[in-house]
Structure 1
Amino acid sequence: MDLLALADFNLVARHGGFGRAARATGRPKATLSRRVADLESSLELRLFERGTRMLKLTQEGRALYERTGTLLAELEEAAAAITSGGDRPRGRLRISAPLLFSQTAMGKLAAKFALKYPEVRLEVTTEDRAVDMIEEGYDLVIRVNPDPDESLVGRIFLRDRLVVVASPSLGRPTGDRAVSAVVRETGDPTTSWDVVAPGGNLRITAEPVLCLSSLIMVRDAVRAGVGAARLPVSLVIHDLAAGKLVHWGDVDGPEIALWTLYPSRRLLSARVSAFLDCLKEAFPSGTPEELAAFID
């Protein structure tokens, strides 16, 4: 297989078209098109579906891109390390992180990383959706309780748990009386929370009075006494200690686990490894208390 043709195929796949790849790299569009056509002929496979206004990977093309993209990146990094006389992190590092973690911790983490590794251009995108790492060009994603994905590997670096909290001015739930609630999700006008409390398990009937898109907003509304809410304990530890909020109990359910995910491969890039080390340094035990202390 022609390695140069394979590299040009990956270039076109990564940029989503011959014209875009040519403009991004300064390579002639005709050369890229010819190299990809030669690769298709040698493999006897169509790697792209070519429309009048769009270019799309075929199933075989996507499989080839996923299996060879990281390999080519490792070859480039190895060559750069040899020619520079070292393997220090350098180049572009793209990360996708969830909203709450980005709002509370990623700014400080990114700053520390940038100061320690000035030759890395770190780019962080905030979004809660499940991104396609290969298609969208991410080197690392951070996700909360992600669904299993055979194409990715990863590990948990932080654990948290949900608690029900409220302002001291809001009376604790008694009997079947519904309590005012601040929620993040849209849905039914009433809901129920299963809570593990010191006095035993209970079910709280919650009547949403506010629906907000950010847990930071939810916490601020709860502080103001609007209603109770389910929130990560790391987000309210300081308020509970100061008496600004009271703890009604822990939510009966699975823990919150923050994962780092990256394409499955034997060797990680120096950039990804450096960022993973940065997370380990910030959260050595991965507890909610460490996160709360970090964002204080």
Structure 2
Amino acid sequence: MDLLALADFNLVARHGGFGRAARAAGRPKATLSRRVAELEAALDLRLFERGPRTLKLTEEGRALHERTGMLLAELDETAAVIASGSAKPRGRLRISAPLLFSQVAMGKLAAEFAARHPEVRLEVTTEDRAVDMVEEGYDLVIRVNPETNESLVGRIFMRDRLIVVASPALGRPVGERPVPAVVRGPDGGDAWHVGAPGGRSRIVFEPVLHLSSLIMVRDAIRAGIGAGCLPISLVCHDLTAGRLVQWGDIDGPAIALWTLYPSRRLLSARVSAFLDHLKQAFPNGTPDELASYVAG
């Protein structure tokens, strides 16, 4: 396969048209069109659907772009690094991270990383949805308990667990009497199943507040309006100070924060540097480390 033609194909796919790609690269539009046509002929595949005013990737074209675009970018970066005689991280680094982790830790992490690696242009987007790394151009994503994805590899860098907490003034319920609760989102259920030193139990609750952020949930619980379910890293200092008390651990899988990146490419120097940065910030990946990092 002609790598130059493949690079031109990815250039056109990335910019969504021959004209835009030609202007971005400062190259003749006719040359790009010819090179893509030659690649299609060599592969015996139509890579673009060409309309009077639109250009759209075919299913085969999309698959080729997803599998080769990042790889070619990494080859370009590797060549630039070798030419400069340095493996120093540089260039753009786009990261997607979940809301809560971003709110409590990402600002500090990003500032420290930027100070340590001034030639990296770090961009962090906060969202809980599962982004398409290749389609949306992310180098690294952080996700909570992600679903298995054969096109991605990654590692766990932090573990947490959910607990039920309340103000000391709010007495723990007896029997099936519901307790007032602060829940995240419109549908928070009606009971928590918890494990405690005395054995497993079921805590029935009635929501008095529905909030969209766990930070807001924590603050409302601190105010004594009701009990709630939160990651222990978010409230461990409140538990130590006696502002909150723990009613039990939620039964279910633990919380695991993962870093994910495409498996069909070499890790760039900037992605490796950020992974090392996370490891230095959270060497053991415990909830106490996260709480201490946020409070420090």
Q: TM-score range by the shorter chain?
A: over 0.9
Q: Does residue 285 of structure 2 align to residue 291 of structure 1?
A: no
Corresponding residue for residue 73 of structure 1:
73
Q: How is 1:74-223 mapped onto 2 (pairs within 5 angstroms)?
A: 74-187=74-187, 191-223=190-222
Instruction: Letter of the 1:152 partner, please give it.
Output: L
% same residue: 78
Partners of 1:15 and 1:101 in 2: how far apart? 32
Change (3 A) 1:204 1:56: farther
Residues 50-109 of structure 1: CA deviation (Å, up to 9, x unaligned): 345544322211221222123212211121112111111111111000000100111111
Corresponding residue for residue 2 of structure 1:
2
Task: Work out whether residues 14 and 137 of structure 1, in 8 Å CA contact, stay in contact via their aligned partners in 2.
Answer: no
Change (3 A) 1:295 1:22: farther
TM-score (norm 2): 0.94
Q: CA deviation at 1:226?
A: 1.4
Change (3 A) 1:46 1:177: same
Corresponding residue for residue 252 of structure 2:
253
Instruction: Letter of the 2:165 partner, please give it.
Output: V
Residues 12-51 of structure 1: CA deviation (Å, up to 9, x unaligned): 2223333443454444444433322222122111112334
Instruction: Letter of the 1:216 partner, please give it.
Output: I
Instruction: Letter of the 1:153 partner, please give it.
Output: V
Q: CA deviation at 1:266?
A: 5.5
Query: Where does the alignment leave 5 or more consecutive residues of structure 2 unmatched?
Result: none
Q: CA deviation at 1:248?
A: 0.6
Q: For 1:250, what is the secondary structure of its paired residue?
A: strand
Q: For 1:148, what is the secondary structure of its paired residue?
A: coil
Q: For 2:275, what is the secondary structure of its paired residue?
A: helix
Corresponding residue for residue 32 of structure 2:
32
Corresponding residue for residue 225 of structure 1:
224
Q: For 1:78, what is the secondary structure of its paired residue?
A: helix
Change (3 A) 1:100 1:24: farther
Q: Does residue 236 of structure 2 align to residue 234 of structure 1?
A: no
Instruction: Letter of the 1:143 partner, please give it.
Output: R
Of 284-293 and 259-268, more deviation after overlay is shown by 259-268
Q: CA deviation at 1:129?
A: 0.2
Task: Work out whether residues 120 and 271 of structure 1, in 8 Å CA contact, stay in contact via their aligned partners in 2.
Answer: yes
Question: Could you say what the CA RMSD is over the residues aligned between the two structures, in angstroms?
Answer: 1.6
Corresponding residue for residue 11 of structure 2:
11
Change (3 A) 1:243 1:186: same
What is the number of residues matched between the two proteins? Answer: 295
Task: Work out whether residues 70 and 265 of structure 2, in 8 Å CA contact, stay in contact via their aligned partners in 1.
Answer: no
Q: For 2:202, what is the secondary structure of its paired residue?
A: strand
Task: Work out whether residues 99 and 128 of structure 1, in 8 Å CA contact, stay in contact via their aligned partners in 2.
Answer: yes
Q: CA deviation at 1:167?
A: 1.1
Partners of 2:27 and 2:220 in 1: how far apart? 54
Instruction: Letter of the 1:262 partner, please give it.
Output: Y
Partners of 1:76 and 1:134 in 2: how far apart? 17
Partners of 1:54 and 1:162 in 2: how far apart? 49
Task: Work out whether residues 97 and 127 of structure 1, in 8 Å CA contact, stay in contact via their aligned partners in 2.
Answer: yes
Partners of 2:9 and 2:283 in 1: how far apart? 41
Change (3 A) 1:21 1:179: farther
Change (3 A) 1:201 1:117: same
Corresponding residue for residue 267 of structure 2:
268
Q: CA deviation at 1:215?
A: 0.6
Task: Work out whether residues 179 and 207 of structure 1, in 8 Å CA contact, stay in contact via their aligned partners in 2.
Answer: yes
Change (3 A) 1:80 1:204: same
Partners of 2:166 and 2:18 in 1: how far apart? 56
Instruction: Letter of the 1:231 partner, please give it.
Output: L
